[in-house]
Every structure is written in structure tokens, then in C-alpha cells.
Chain A
Amino acid sequence: GIQVEQSPPDLILQEGANSTLRCNFSDSVNNLQWFHQNPWGQLINLFYIPSGTKQNGRLSATTVATERYSLLYISSSQTTDSGVYFCAVGTGGSYIPTFGRGTSLIVHP
């Protein structure tokens, strides 16, 4: 099956810093999502982005499907951004999200 690798595995930031999270995948995809799992365990949809660029406030994402990667940008990070960020991809006719292992982000005040 498709392999999804996320980097870095861990990230520690001071409030106000910017960061870039990366998701590499081993095959062509027709679905890609970014999620934030907050410290209470809830999975929050950030972006549905099989290709192109999207922005939502301080967050933006870019997927370059032909080169098999996606990037999540967090600007002016806040303590509430802490948690684990997951990339999930799907390929083929049926979208079954396959998750990477995530990037664990801690933002210090």
C-alpha cells in the first residue's frame, strides 16, 4: 500500500515563530487531507488539498501531486496550535485515508 512519511516527527517552537511541516507519499494520490489532533484527542480538519494551494488564516497548505509531497505552513504560532498534525492520503477509486505518523508540535508561550 501507499507509504506516508511526515517530517519532522517533533517540533518545539516559541510563540510567534513560523514552521513548515512536510508530508511525502510514495504513489499518486487523488485525495489528501491535513488534520490537527488537539491535546484532548479531537481530530480537526484543516485542509482537503489533493493539489494546489489553500489558505485559512495563519495556516496554509500546498500539495505538489506530481512530486508527491504536501506542505503545511503555520505562521505566527500560538500555544493553541500545540498537538499532532497528521497528513492522510488516498489513492485509487475509493478514498480510504492512509495516515502518516504525524508531527508533534509544542508551542511555548
Chain B
Amino acid sequence: NAGVMQNPRHLVRRRGQEARLRCSPMKGHSHVYWYRQLPEEGLKFMVYLQKENIIDESGMPKERFSAEFPKEGPSILRIQQVVRGDSAAYFCASSLSGAEAFFGQGTRLTVV
């Protein structure tokens, strides 16, 4: 059973470009979470999704950030018009029933 898969592992974008981060949950998992981690800090919650629904987006910046988890395919975290402050590690997690969460290896976004 494959774990949570995130891609790309590393992403470099110029200021003003768009970043798309993908997350394929573990097989059978319908709950997906996105987190952001800055250097030397803990993980900050961004958004919680179930298939085709956003359950809680209280940690998501109001502008430029969006997330989706379509019926088919991976969950996508989209950052439009990236700025240097968006540089961070973005982690995705999935769970079977909203209990134990399993994390992917993260996407390291660098904005130059």
C-alpha cells in the first residue's frame, strides 16, 4: 500500500508565477489536509478537504491560495502570483476516517 505521494518534491518559481502542488492520498483515504512549514517552525494547518468538498479552510490565506480534491485524481494546492514569502515546505496528509493522519514527503517551494 503506497503512502501519501506528493509531487513535485522540489519546485522553483519566479515571483508572479503560479505553483501547483499535487497530493495523492493513501488508497481508500478520503480525507486530505494541507500544511505549510517554515524553517525551524512547526506545521501550520491550511485546509481540510474531503472528496469534492472543502471542510475547513480557516488556515488558508484569503488571496492567491486555493485547494481542491476532485472526485477523480489528486488533491491540488494552487498558489497564484507567488511571492518570496510563499517559500516553504508544503505537506499533505491523508486519513481514512478523520482519525490517524499520514503525511507525504512534502514539496519544497522556492520563489526566486
| Chain A residues proximal to chain B, CB less than 8 Å | 31, 33, 35, 41-43, 45, 48, 86, 88, 94-102
Contacts and interface: CB of A to CB of B under 8 A. Distances in A.
Contact of A43 (B41, B48, B91, B98): B91
Contact of A41 (B44, B89, B95, B101): B89
Contact of A45 (B35, B56, B91, B100): B100
A102 to B, nearest CB: 5
A88 B42 CA distance: 10
Secondary structure class of chain B's binding surface, majority of residues:
strand
Interface string B72-112: 00000000000000000101010100111111011010000
Contacts of A96: 33, 45, 48, 56
Given A94-B56, A96-B33, A48 B99 contact: yes
Q: How many B residues are at the interface, by size bracket?
A: 20 to 34
B106 A41 contact: yes
Interface of B: 33, 35, 41-45, 48, 55-56, 89, 91, 93, 95, 98-103, 105-106, 108
Contacts of A99: 35, 42-45
A94 B49 CA distance: 11
Nearest to A4: B42
B99 A95 contact: yes
B85 to A, nearest CB: 20
A85 B42 CA distance: 10
Contact of B42 (A33, A45, A86): A86
A76 B21 CA distance: 39
B41 A101 contact: yes
